[in-house]
Structures are given as structure tokens and as C-alpha cells.
Amino acid sequence: MNQDQVPLIREMVAEAVENMQGQFSNAQIRQYIKNKWPGTNRASIDADIITMTVNHESRIHYTVNYKPRLTNSGSVYDLLYRTRRGYLEKYNESVHGLWEIVSSPSQRNTIRQVSQPASQPIYTPSDIRWIKNISNAEIGRAYLDVVSDSFVLHFPTHHKGNVLSPAIDDIILLYQKINGESVFTHLVTPINNKIDETSQRAEYLYGREVRIIAMTSEANVIPVKNTLWKDVTFSGISQGNACEIEHIGSVNSLQELQLNTWEQFEDYFVGLAIESRSLVDSLLDDVSVDFPEMDAIEGKVILVSHFARERNRALIDEKKRQALLKNEFHCEVCSFSFQAVYGKDFLECHHIFPIGKSGIRRNSLDDLALVCSNCHRMLHTKFENEYLSIAALAERIKTRNL
């Protein structure tokens, strides 16, 4: 081939992406390029994939990304979004939010998410409402070779009436037998309310498209015997239908089971669901601090479910963005700067009105404070049976330092 006819590697990557659907792997991009342009250097392909991935931290080390910009500026280098290690999909602001390459006072560029998509759902443990048995007798495992972020979940033909039972955004826990052992492998949620009838298998003619919330690999499946489900009687939910968990007679505490299931999948959340996992972890900590007398799992799960929806993550992102723009990205209590010490744009967000006192309220930017981890912990610690305000804690530090 004439050298003049060989496109730039970023153009090769772009063409490969245009010929792929849903989620795809770095290896698939490399293979496409290798097939069409043999001899293309693999390291160069990998470098351009990193360069073109909006949420890859290492992209800022390449010259084309030295200058600050937003990912809605039309740059050809804002093409990909990393969903999990080794897997990508085409970047879409409405799905993945707005990202930015930003210069910090330390002169080291960083990336950050400026805003999240308004339509992004927030999932919590209480959304785990269904359980379903899956199987594939031909290969001994089901749906573990899925490389996209969604797939068609099949139901036995005689359970057609059950296909649309789970609502959109309800989470379905999938379990199966692999090598004779009962294991959990997926958390999924329905994408639409359509019955898929494309299957050619007589016993499984009907299906439903679902999005993956969390998924293990075959090497790290979750044995049922290692979870609280070990005490639940599975008879009646092993026929391939989706069974509502709260209607299983042997379930003693629905909320405890939901939280345990969520925690078992802690390391396996994928894509946008990772943000839900992080938010739930943060709220569980807040609830434990604000309600130290609340020992019951049921109360915690209910509160976390409620406050996850009330506390808008986009508001926190905007608070941090404005602080960065004003060069005020430091702890509002003690003035500690992670930027200055570590070169990282890190701060925690404190809700000035505690859950226990404020009840249900719509927060504004003025209701939030950016604080370091130490001060945040102290703001959630009672002194003489009272929580200190930002000003009171700052004064206490000042007095101690005199």
C-alpha cells in the first residue's frame, strides 16, 4: 500500500469504532486495525485509544490534550468512554456526562466530570427486587461472555407472562449453576417494556433487553453459600421465571438481604452504575454517623434509598467546579489544600444541614461546604452532644493553634 494512503492512527481508531456496536474492547479495535492496516504499531494504537478516551486519566500526558477543553468542543480526540478495564463505548455526552481537561495551579493537567447526564438513574440496594435463575446447558454458563453493556435475558416459553413483570430500573439478581455450584453472576435492569421474540430456541422463545449493573467473570463468581442467601429456600424460583424477592416465604429480612447482595457485587459494578455504588457507600457512612443509634439494617437501607435520590450528585459536581474556577479549592474549615500538597483536585462535600435535623429539603450550592477528610469527620462528630458548624469548628482549630 502506498504510504500516502495510510490514514492517521486516530483515524484508524475512529473508523474501527464506527464499525462496532455497544460496548467493545481495546483488543477489538486493535484487531480491526490489524486486519485492514497490517503492520500498524500496537503501542501507537493503544496510545491513541488512551488519548481519545474522555475519562482516562492518562490522556493528559499526550500533547494533543495539553490545552484545557470541554468534551463538547467538537474535538476529534473526544471519541471514547471507558466503561471498565479494557472495555469502551463511543462517548455520548447525554449518556456519559460532560468531561473536561483542566489546568490546576500546580501546572499539572487533570480530568474531571463537569456534569452528569440528567437522565442517569441512581440505583440503591432497595432496587434489588427480583431474582432469576439462568442456564446454558451447551456451554455450562450463561451470559458471562457478554462484551456489551446490555443483552437479551431469555425466559422459558411457558413463562411469557412473567417477562414484563420487573419494572424498568428494578434490579434483577441472576444466579446459575457452574461446575455444580450455585453462584451469583449478574445484577441487571430492564431497558424497555418490549418482549424480544428473536430467539430460535423453542424452550426460550421470549426475552427482555437488560442493562448490566454489575457482572462477575467466570473466575470470580459469588458462591451462594458465602452470602445471606444460603438460608433462603430456592424452591419455586429455579424454573427460570423472575421471582419478586419480598414474596419468597423464607426471606426473613428483605433489606438485610438486599444490602448483603449489593455488598457482594461491590467490586463488579460497571459503567455508569459505578457512580451509584460510590454514592451508596458515602450515604451509608453518613447515615451511620448521623444516626449512631440506628442498628437495624432495614432503617439504613430505607434512608440510603431515600437520600440517594434527594441528594443530587450534579449539585456536588457544580460546587467543586465553581470552587476550582474561583481558585478556592481548599477546605472551608482548616484551609488544607490537596492540590497544593498532592497535586490532586480532591475535597469532600459536606451537607451543612445534617440528615437528622434537616429532614427532606432541596439543597442549593449554599447548603454545601467543601472540606478535607479530617474536618468532614469532625463535622459529623458530636461535641457535648452537639454537631459543630463550619465556623465553630474553624474557631476551635484556630484557638488550639494559638
User: What is the tens place of the pLDDT at every residue in 57-85?
Assistant: 899 999 999 999 999 889 999 999 988 77
If asked whether residues 201 and 263 sit together in one domain, one would say: yes
pLDDT at residue 215 in the model: 95
pLDDT at residue 230 in the model: 93
Asked, for residue 292, whether it belongs to a domain, the answer is no
Asked, for residue 214, whether it belongs to a domain, the answer is yes
pLDDT at residue 32 in the model: 96
If asked whether residues 256 and 365 sit together in one domain, one would say: no
Asked, for residue 284, whether it belongs to a domain, the answer is no
Beta strands in 246-354 (DSSP E): 348-351
- 363 pLDDT band, cuts 50/70/90, is low
- Cα separation, 254 vs 352, in Å, equals 32
pLDDT digits 0-9 by tens, 230-273: 999 877 676 788 999 998 988 888 888 999 999 999 889 987 78
Split into its structural domains, the chain has a count of: 3
Identify the three-state secondary structure at position 330: coil
**360 pLDDT more than 60:** no
Percent of the chain beyond pLDDT 70? 86
**379 pLDDT more than 80:** yes
Output the average pLDDT for the chain.
Answer: 85
For helices 26-36 and 42-51, give the axis angle rounded to 10 degrees.
130
pLDDT digits 0-9 by tens, 90-116: 998 877 888 999 876 655 788 888 876
**194 pLDDT more than 80:** yes
If asked whether residues 317 and 347 sit together in one domain, one would say: yes
- 314 pLDDT band, cuts 50/70/90, is low
pLDDT at residue 356 in the model: 44
If asked whether residues 176 and 71 sit together in one domain, one would say: no
Q: Where a domain ends, among 83, 115, 147?
A: 115
If asked whether residues 103 and 147 sit together in one domain, one would say: no
**2 pLDDT more than 60:** no
**3 pLDDT more than 80:** no
If asked whether residues 107 and 134 sit together in one domain, one would say: no
Asked, for residue 52, whether it belongs to a domain, the answer is yes
136: domain CATH number is 3.10.590
If asked whether residues 109 and 132 sit together in one domain, one would say: no
Binning the chain into helix, strand and coil, the percentages to the nearest 5 are 40, 20, 40
pLDDT at residue 402 in the model: 58
Tell me whether residue 392 is exposed, middle or buried, using C-beta atoms within 10 angstroms of its C-beta: 0 to 12, 13 to 18, 19 or more.
middle
Which three cell numbers mark 133? 435463575
Asked, for residue 277, whether it belongs to a domain, the answer is no
Q: Where a domain ends, among 64, 89, 115?
A: 115
If asked whether residues 160 and 246 sit together in one domain, one would say: yes
pLDDT at residue 298 in the model: 61
**311 pLDDT more than 60:** no
Residue, of 255 and 16, whose pLDDT is higher: 16
pLDDT at residue 107 in the model: 59
- 147 pLDDT band, cuts 50/70/90, is confident
**359 pLDDT more than 50:** no
If asked whether residues 155 and 133 sit together in one domain, one would say: yes
Mean pLDDT of 141-162: 89
Domain that holds residue 376: 311-401
If asked whether residues 45 and 169 sit together in one domain, one would say: no
The most confident of 39-53, 92-106, 331-345, by mean pLDDT: 39-53
Asked, for residue 202, whether it belongs to a domain, the answer is yes
- Cα separation, 352 vs 361, in Å, equals 12
Identify the three-state secondary structure at position 90: strand
Tell me whether residue 229 is exposed, middle or buried, using C-beta atoms within 10 angstroms of its C-beta: 0 to 12, 13 to 18, 19 or more.
buried
- Least confident stretch, 43-47, 117-121, 239-243: 117-121
**202 pLDDT more than 50:** yes
If asked whether residues 106 and 141 sit together in one domain, one would say: no
pLDDT at residue 361 in the model: 47
pLDDT at residue 358 in the model: 45
pLDDT at residue 119 in the model: 52
Please tell me the number of Cα atoms within 13 Å of 132 on its side-chain side. 30
The most confident of 186-200, 305-319, 344-358, by mean pLDDT: 186-200
- Least confident stretch, 88-102, 133-147, 356-370: 356-370
If asked whether residues 107 and 133 sit together in one domain, one would say: no
Q: Where a domain ends, among 61, 94, 115?
A: 115
H helix and E strand count, the chain: 12, 17
Contacts of 155 (CB under 8 A, 6+ apart): 162, 163, 204, 206, 207, 208, 240, 241, 242
